[in-house]
Structure formats: C-alpha cells, structure tokens
Amino acid sequence: MTQDTRGKVLLTGISGFIGLHCAKEALEQGFEVVGSVRSEAKENEVRATLEAASVDTANLSFAHLDLTSDKGWDEAAAGCDYIMHIASPFTIANPKTEDEMIIPAVQGSLRALRAGKAAGVKRVVLTSSILSMMGTMKTGTFGPDNWTDTNSTEISTYTKSKTLAERAAWEFMDTLSDENAMELVVVNPGGVFGPPLGKNITGQTMALTDQMLRGKLPMLPNIAFPMVDVRDLAVLHVKALTETSAKGKRVIAATSDPISFIQMAQVMKDQGYKGPSTRKAPDFVLKFTALFDREAKGMLGMLNMNLSANTSATKEVFGWTPRAAVESIQDTADAVRALQH
C-alpha cells in the first residue's frame, strides 16, 4: 500500500453494480480502499474487473464480512478514515418472509456504524434509497424531509428494509453525544441505470433491460420514478466522504423528473433495438399477476406512481449535474446487448 492517499475507506458490497463503480471512483480520486466481500473468489473477480476497466488497484485490499455476523467488522474498520456502506440485499420480488431482507439490511447498517465508531472513523456514507422517502405517494414531489411509513401495507419488503435500515442509522447517530463524534451522510439513489463495470447483468436494472431487449416484456406497468446513472452516483458517494456541508444530510441522487418504464422502452426503440415494447399493461394485469408472482407483488405499491424529486439540496451542496436519463438508458442498453449470450 502506498501511504500518500486521501484517506482509507472501508467499502462494503464492493462486488455489486454500485460498489464496483464506487471503488473505481474512490481509487481514481486517491483513496485507499478496503472492499468487503464474502470469499477469496470474489476478491479476484473484483480486482480483475477493476483492472479491466484500467483502474490501478495498488491501493485496494479486501476484508471478508457478512451483514448478519459481527465477525471481522472491527478489524476491517481499524485504521480507516471513512466507511462507505453500500451492501444490502436487493430484489424487487418480495421474499417469502420479510426478515430475510429486513434483518441483513438493518443489522448491516448498524454493524457498519458500530465498527466505525469503534475505529474512530470521521464519517460514514450510507447508501439508502429514494424509496425511504416516497412512501405511498403517487404524484407530486418528495424531498429529504419525507419519510416512508413502514407500517403501510402498500409498500414492498425492499422499500420497508431500506427505510428501516436508514431509520436505524439515524437513531444510532442520535445516541452519540460527543460534538466531534463520527458523522453520517445518507445517499438516496433513484432507480440506478448505466453500464456495469464487469460482465454481470443479473442485477435488477440489468435484468429488466435484458428482458426488454429480448422482447420478453410485451406490456409494461404504469410506473415512473426518478433515476440515476451509476457513474454519477459513484461520483456523489465519493464526494460525500469529504464534503463538509453534507454532514448529517439525506442526499437525493436522482433526476428531478420521473422516468417511466415506457419511456425507457421508447429510448431503446429509438436506438434501433427491436425487442422493447411500449404497450402499457392494464392495472388489473399486474394486480392479478401479483397473486402468484412475488416480483409483481413487489411492484404493486409503485403502480400509477409518477413522482418528482426535489434535488435542489444535492445540486447546492455538491454542484451536481447528473447526465441526461436518455444517455444513461442508451448506455445501459448497449452494455447489456454486448453482454447478452
């Protein structure tokens, strides 16, 4: 490891779609990165993926952590200046039991914060979601002051898990009394699009794009929400490590305007792809499918959603200008098509 860096970051979930991009950005911005993985095979995969993307991995090392176990967290955080906690279970489909998703999400956030406190880190940057703000709103604009009601029966398990994990993090911070105590910044991304760094297209966004391109989705549900390009999201995460005025803030990382599934499909059609359909599915189709399909059930709460995001604070604090949604969707489609077998 070279000593001349901007600080050392424990980055959980480094092997994921967002994690890889954040690792690339952090290393390129001069940070030393300790990435959490579950196995040595994942270490090799992450290093190879970053090196294939022309990233110098001299300042990259690894720790083996699990969201549901205390083992290794304090050791991984020791000597770190920052923690970027990205790891969290993510599927649109509702799991068989809520706890499968909620327990790792909440406990993982608390383990990251406890390890940070024990190691004396300056700041934790936690990845949440705009879902923790949108609640059951269907139209209008949400912002950092909004919170999703986790008692609502209309929200998906994933939405509940992200909201509870973020709430637990803020409540943990309320227990810290020292003026110079560790700081927290929460980044709340919209739907995350953009090209993957590696060859893995099994994530939710990639899988959705893959199905659209293959013509596997003859009709699309009437859902629209703000989105973000993974490359812009990574920039924001790394800036959030050191931006003084971000302390204690919930940062919306998304376009202000909602983007619908049908708009996404239209962008791909305009690119010349033949597979995507722009037909809107009648509401009853999703409601009926939800009776026996967990993924459809997970999307029910978002049906007829058309929400905008108040991103003024993000732009003000970070001087952030995200790339256009059209560019992000086009790049996603091209990347997925190139990786399709």
Q: Give the tokens for residue 324.
A: 């256009």
The C-alpha torsion from 40 through 44 and 50 to 51, rounded to 10°, is 150
90/270: higher pLDDT: 270
Write down the pLDDT at residue 2. Answer: 45
The number of distinct structural domains making up the chain is: 1
Give the CA angle between residues 251, 113, 227 to the nearest 5°: 25
The residue to which tokens 């998906």 are assigned? 156
Residue 1 lies in a domain: no
What is the per-residue pLDDT across 308-321, written as a single tens digit (0 to 9) for each? Answer: 999 999 999 999 99
Residue 3 lies in a domain: no
| Residues above pLDDT 70, as percent of the chain | 92
Other C-beta atoms within 10 Å of 70: how many? 12
Residue 107 DSSP SS3: helix
284/139: higher pLDDT: 139
Residue 214 lies in a domain: yes
Instruction: Report DSSP state, residue 272.
Output: T
Instruction: Report DSSP state, residue 244.
Output: G
CATH for 213: 3.40.50.720
187, 237 Cβ separation under 8 angstroms: yes
Q: Is the pLDDT of residue 292 over 90?
A: no
Write down the pLDDT at residue 326. Answer: 95
For residue 222, give its domain range: 8-339
Q: Give the tokens for residue 76.
A: 């991984």
What is the per-residue pLDDT across 197-222, written as a single tens digit (0 to 9) for each? Answer: 988 777 778 888 999 999 998 989 88
Residue 155 lies in a domain: yes
110, 175 Cβ separation under 8 angstroms: no
Residue 2 lies in a domain: no
Q: What is the average pLDDT across 28-32?
A: 98
Read off the amino acid at residue 21: H
